[in-house]
Amino acid sequence: MSRNGSYTASELLAVMSCRLLKDGQTVFAGVGIPLLAATLAQRLHAPGLTILFEGGVLGPFVVAGELPPSTNEQRCTRRANMLLTITDVLLLLQRGYVDVGFMGGAQIDCHGNLNSSFIGDPAKPKIRLPGTGGGNDIASLAQMIVAMKHEKRRFVEKVDFITSPGFLDGDTSRRDSGLVAGGMYRVVTDLAVLGFDDKSKRMKVLALHPGVVGRSVQDNTGFDLGIGSDVPATEPPSERELRALRELDPDRLYIA
What single string gives the DSSP state of each residue in 8-57? -HHHHHHHHHHTT--TT-EEEE-TTHHHHHHHHHHHHT-TT-EEEETTTE
The pair phi, psi for residue 192, each rounded to 5°, is -160, 170
**Does residue 157 have an active-site annotation?**
no
The residues, ordered by sequence, that sit 6+ positions from 19 with a Cβ below 8 Å of its Cβ are: 41
CA angle 123/125/129 to nearest 5° reads 125
DSSP assignment letter at 164: B
Q: What is the largest CA-CA distance in the chain?
A: 49
d(CA 185, CA 196): 7
Please tell me which residue in 11, 54, 235, 239 is annotated as part of the active site. 54
H/E stretch holding 107: strand 107-109
Q: Which residues are catalytic?
A: 54
